[in-house]
Structure 1
Amino acid sequence: MKKLCHLYNNILIVSILLIVFGPPGAVAHCSHFTGMHVHVPPEILALSGSCVDIRCRFDTVPEFNSTKTTYGIWMKYTKKYKNVEESQIYYNSSGSMNTHKMEIIGELWRKNCTTRIFDVTPFHTDLYMFRIENEGMNATYCEDFFMLRVVDSPWNHTLDVYGSNLKEHQSVTVSCSAFTPCVHSPPELTWNLKRDSIRQILTNTDGNITTKIQENITLTYRHDGYKINCSARYPVTGGFKQSPESVKTLSVSHSPKETRASISPSGLVSVGTLLELSCSSRAKPPISRFSWFKNSKDGVTKVSEVQVHRFTATPTDEGDYYCEVTNSLGSETSRSVCVDIFDAPFIPSINIPVGELKEDQSITITCSVSTPCPQSQPGLTWNLKQDSLRQTEKNTEGTFTTKIQETITLSDKHDGYIISCSARHPGDKKGKTAKTEVTLTVSYAPKNTSASISPSSLLSEGNWVELICSSRANPPSRFSWFKKGPEKFSKISTGIILRVKFTGGNEYYCEAENELGKQRSSPITFRSQGTTGSLIYVLLGVVGMAALGIIGFVLNKWYKQTS
């Protein structure tokens, strides 16, 4: 059981003995009392140039009067319990002594003797004990001393990640904490996890003070291998003292990420080239399976289960390839790479609407080429229109279609029209092209309907002649013949040819008809040879008389001028 140095003012004998027999400068001696102590840590660490807090509380006897003025005294510990010299007193809260820049910041009337020392130097390294002076009680706690050790370098701080077997999507708490000997001047903590994290000052279960910053983070694959570093610097007289940097490297398990497929050599290749398709990925644990797939118009095909797929290029190898990687936490698929063989054939196709095409119908005609790679857009030309806009679309199976298209309104002139489209690979420097042709079939009503007579020379009454009807139409026309009567034209026959006797003054026309419409020819009027000859003779006579008149007029005028 420890001894308590205790002095009661009301014990007259003890007081008289101290006054009479005590050595000069003595302030107290130690008496034996049980059950009362001053409670301080046995050892306290301080940083040179900073401040330090001494946690302290003391026990009292019933005579302690908390309403009366109380003073606390810190002094050098000595084994000579009888007396303490004034030179060994470092601080008196009465203000009479303060050689060590100390200040009691606790409330003595609440039995709290917590003390702060400012501007600590190696000179402060020592053993300290405490004395209390109160009107009801004066006592020196001789055996409840503590050791103050002053260090020149700051302490290592602690960097903690709370959690084990870290995995992506897991939420964890990360903290950086540093020992804080003085609440008045805590260390500054900085790290690379987040700027301006909130600083907390906490009291641990052992009574020590800790300064801490803390963040909650949700782990991703990018945190695997990520180095969290934290540093602390302590304010001291004239600047700061830096503690060694703490570093912790995260180990985070995750499914495959950043999966990439690459091809060598890249760009256009020719048939016979040795190709290497390589697959890479980030994963923890490592990749357990690599798989290569090819996209084509027939669907997806697995081609190998190796990390590097090697083959010699043939025209059938052209296409889109991608890899898939797997570990115990999942799988991921890369973006595709394209094997582009410039001497593989490009065969264009021409697309027109399905069904019967009719005149005045508006249709869209397309010339397209399916290609495996978006960068190999072929050159397309056709005879429908110059400089048609070229478009490239991605198909569902991963291939690409390059096309040109035009919208036209059909007429009878498009029937039998041949549309020709040519395609050329952009990497083919020889200019080789592939060509496709399609012939349009357009239905339309009869056009250019006409009637003619055979023979076509001058005819005489009663001769047999043939009237012939012609027309352009799809589907072909049905023909009808009409003859002019006293009041109107009447239908007299059908068919292409009508055989009749030549009778002057008769008038005929034909009509062509199909499902889409009909058209009438211009009429033909019969004129006999006799009538025609008389008219010619009359015309020649008129012309001859006019010529003779002109000659006579000219001669008469000339005669008058000469005479």
Structure 2
Amino acid sequence: MAALSVNIATDNMLLHILFLSGALATCPQESNLFITVPQMEALSGSCLQIPCNFSAEPEIPLNNSNYVGLWTIDDSNHKPNIVVFSSKNTVNIYPMNITGNLSEKDCTTLFSSLNINYTNTYYFRIETNGTFRATAICDPLQITVTDSPPIPRIEISGDLKEKESVTISCSASTPCPHSPPKLTWNLQQDPPNNIEENTDRTFTTKIQETITLSDTHDGFTINCSATYPVNEGREVKTAEERKTLNVSYAPKDTSVSISPSGLVSAGSWVNLTCYSRAKPPASFSWFKNSKDGAIRVAEGDFYSFNVTDVTDGDYYCVATNNLGNETSSTIHLNVKAESPDPSLPLEPVIGGIIGIIVLISLVSQTGEELTVKEPARKTQEEEEEKEEDIHYGEIDFSKQRPEASSSSEQDSGQQQDTLYAQVKVSQTANSRTQTADSPEDLYAQVKKK
């Protein structure tokens, strides 16, 4: 790995040397004019302000009124001989204007109404009444004109942690300070836009806001838009940048759950689960309250154990990360006072209960059937009794006998009895017949007796 780093550093050094050698090869030793100018990127339809300063070695002993500034580009022979702008001309090829004071060695230039055809390499030249001419051949200006506006930059100062105050800024390159972009974002409505000058004398438009971070800012996406006016304000071009905040925070919303819930029996299993929001993720510890204080019983977000009489009580968890910790509410485990007899299998008990229920059901159904059939049998017997009934009637069989003595009459009176005859009544479907012995026969039968 160290050897690879040395090789990369060596390659970079060689490339740097080759680049300098090439630059020096195109820079003649007799050149004595130098400029300081950044490489510029411009937007088509807008303008470009080019900060520029020059120096000469040796110094040019000229009067202030004799300075003439020019901008040139290469000709077909790659010589910077095509003059596209001269400060002494009222009409030029390119819409440029030197706004700096040449007597103060300020060659700042405003390039207006740019289009993509103006992308080129430019050279600055100084002339004095035709008696002096020097071109900054070693310090060319590269101008790139694009149709797409520069993308704004979002920067955040400070650590992205909850309770920390950070300054968030959005800035956009402002190549044309006369028509700066308009910056907007979703952190505040109509933020004030400030134009700042950079160390290289270019300009930047910026908006910023200071906020105190919380867990609610984690995952929040900042949207910043830069709108550039072009074609003298008749049109606009917009570029947008987004950045999502990655905020660290201590555990939040820590809670516990139990399964199964409610009253549980000894010998069964219980699962406790701890939940929490945290960044970075939290670690979990389980505690049980006792008369001597809290006792640590497990680690991890999931805690499972077999229930016994001694496991009855209050449980809670604590979520912890490097920013803090949070304790959940307690959850109570209720254990039944009686435990099931392990010597009595559960299946036979359940089977016996089911059998008793089935037996009771069958007996009830049989009783109902017997109760329903009994009245039908009695009805049949009643019908049979109706076919043959025995009726008893009182019949007087006293006879008139010859008069006799009083004693005989007394005996006769004593012999007068009441007899009962048995009458057989038969009934058919269409008629009913009664039969009985005659009185004489009955009397004779009685007398024989």
2-structure distance, mates of 1:196, 1:319: 58
Name whichever structure is richer in helix by fraction.
Answer: 2
The alignment status of 1:72 with 2:69, answered yes or no, reads: yes
1:49 is aligned, of 26, 45, 50, to 45
Equivalent residue, structure 2, for 1:36: 33
**Compared CA separation, residues 264 and 194, structure 1 to 2 (3 A):** farther
**Compared CA separation, residues 316 and 194, structure 1 to 2 (3 A):** farther
| 2:174 maps to amino acid | T
**Compared CA separation, residues 122 and 286, structure 1 to 2 (3 A):** closer
The alignment status of 1:179 with 2:173, answered yes or no, reads: yes
| Structure number with bigger Rg | 2
Q: How far does residue 203 in structure 1 lie from its aligned partner after superposition?
A: 4.2
Q: How far does residue 50 in structure 1 lie from its aligned partner after superposition?
A: 1.9
What's the secondary structure of 1:64's corresponding residue?
coil
The alignment status of 1:242 with 2:227, answered yes or no, reads: no
2:122 is aligned, of 128, 137, 149, to 128
| 2:62 maps to amino acid | F
Q: If the length of structure 2 is used for normalisation, what is the TM-score? A: 0.53
2:145 is aligned, of 138, 150, 158, to 150
2:55 is aligned, of 54, 59, 64, to 59
Maintained 8 Å contact 1:48/1:236: yes
2-structure distance, mates of 1:141, 1:80: 16
What's the secondary structure of 2:277's corresponding residue?
strand
Equivalent residue, structure 2, for 1:398: none
Measured against aligned partners, the alpha-carbon deviations of 1:160-201 in whole angstroms (never above 9, x if no partner) come to 33456x543344444333333222233333444444555444
2-structure distance, mates of 1:70, 1:303: 87
Q: How far does residue 114 in structure 1 lie from its aligned partner after superposition?
A: 0.8
**Compared CA separation, residues 62 and 246, structure 1 to 2 (3 A):** same
Equivalent residue, structure 2, for 1:105: 99
| 2:108 maps to amino acid | T
Q: How far does residue 56 in structure 1 lie from its aligned partner after superposition?
A: 1.6
2:327 is aligned, of 333, 336, 348, to 333
Equivalent residue, structure 1, for 2:85: 91
Q: How far does residue 128 in structure 1 lie from its aligned partner after superposition?
A: 2.5
| 2:145 maps to amino acid | V
Measured against aligned partners, the alpha-carbon deviations of 1:109-149 in whole angstroms (never above 9, x if no partner) come to 32212111122101212333334455697535262542322
Maintained 8 Å contact 1:291/1:304: yes
**Compared CA separation, residues 135 and 98, structure 1 to 2 (3 A):** closer
**Compared CA separation, residues 127 and 167, structure 1 to 2 (3 A):** closer
1-structure distance, mates of 2:259, 2:94: 77
**Compared CA separation, residues 119 and 299, structure 1 to 2 (3 A):** farther
Q: How far does residue 285 in structure 1 lie from its aligned partner after superposition?
A: 3.4
Equivalent residue, structure 2, for 1:116: 110
2-structure distance, mates of 1:334, 1:139: 83
| 1:51 maps to amino acid | C
2-structure distance, mates of 1:222, 1:132: 60
Equivalent residue, structure 2, for 1:261: 256
Q: How far does residue 286 in structure 1 lie from its aligned partner after superposition?
A: 2.5
1:213 is aligned, of 192, 207, 225, to 207
% of aligned pairs identical? 39
**Compared CA separation, residues 240 and 262, structure 1 to 2 (3 A):** farther
Measured against aligned partners, the alpha-carbon deviations of 1:224-258 in whole angstroms (never above 9, x if no partner) come to 44444444343323433333524244252x33222
2-structure distance, mates of 1:227, 1:63: 59
Q: How far does residue 313 in structure 1 lie from its aligned partner after superposition?
A: 9.8
Q: How far does residue 83 in structure 1 lie from its aligned partner after superposition?
A: 9.9
Measured against aligned partners, the alpha-carbon deviations of 1:79-115 in whole angstroms (never above 9, x if no partner) come to 879995xxx4433444521343222222233221211
What's the secondary structure of 2:156's corresponding residue?
strand
| 1:39 maps to amino acid | T
Maintained 8 Å contact 1:270/1:313: no
2-structure distance, mates of 1:137, 1:64: 10
Structural RMSD (CA): 4.5
Equivalent residue, structure 2, for 1:442: none
**Compared CA separation, residues 36 and 326, structure 1 to 2 (3 A):** closer
2-structure distance, mates of 1:80, 1:326: 73
**Compared CA separation, residues 35 and 276, structure 1 to 2 (3 A):** same
What's the secondary structure of 2:285's corresponding residue?
strand
Q: How far does residue 316 in structure 1 lie from its aligned partner after superposition?
A: 11
1:307 is aligned, of 301, 307, 313, to 301
1:160 is aligned, of 155, 164, 167, to 155
| 2:274 maps to amino acid | C
| 2:85 maps to amino acid | Y
Aligned pairs (5 A) from 1:383-402: none
Aligned pairs (5 A) from 1:283-432: 283-293=278-288, 302=295, 304-305=297-298, 307-308=301-302, 322-336=316-330
2-structure distance, mates of 1:320, 1:94: 93
What's the secondary structure of 2:180's corresponding residue?
coil
1-structure distance, mates of 2:331, 2:66: 88
Q: How far does residue 302 in structure 1 lie from its aligned partner after superposition?
A: 4.8
Q: How far does residue 259 in structure 1 lie from its aligned partner after superposition?
A: 1.5
Q: How many residues align?
A: 305
Q: How far does residue 337 in structure 1 lie from its aligned partner after superposition?
A: 5.5
2-structure distance, mates of 1:119, 1:240: 14
Name whichever structure is richer in strand by fraction.
Answer: 1
Q: How far does residue 57 in structure 1 lie from its aligned partner after superposition?
A: 2.1
**Compared CA separation, residues 214 and 90, structure 1 to 2 (3 A):** same
Q: How far does residue 204 in structure 1 lie from its aligned partner after superposition?
A: 4.1
2-structure distance, mates of 1:137, 1:293: 98
**Compared CA separation, residues 40 and 69, structure 1 to 2 (3 A):** same
**Compared CA separation, residues 160 and 218, structure 1 to 2 (3 A):** same
Q: Which runs of 5+ in 2 are unaligned?
A: 1-22, 338-449
Q: If the length of structure 1 is used for normalisation, what is the TM-score? A: 0.44
2-structure distance, mates of 1:231, 1:180: 14
Q: How far does residue 75 in structure 1 lie from its aligned partner after superposition?
A: 3.5
**Compared CA separation, residues 128 and 271, structure 1 to 2 (3 A):** closer
Q: Which has the higher contact order (CA 8 A, sep 6+)?
A: 2
Q: Which runs of 5+ in 1 are unaligned?
A: 4-30, 345-563
The alignment status of 1:282 with 2:277, answered yes or no, reads: yes
**Compared CA separation, residues 146 and 302, structure 1 to 2 (3 A):** same
2-structure distance, mates of 1:226, 1:299: 46
**Compared CA separation, residues 312 and 239, structure 1 to 2 (3 A):** farther
Maintained 8 Å contact 2:84/2:94: yes
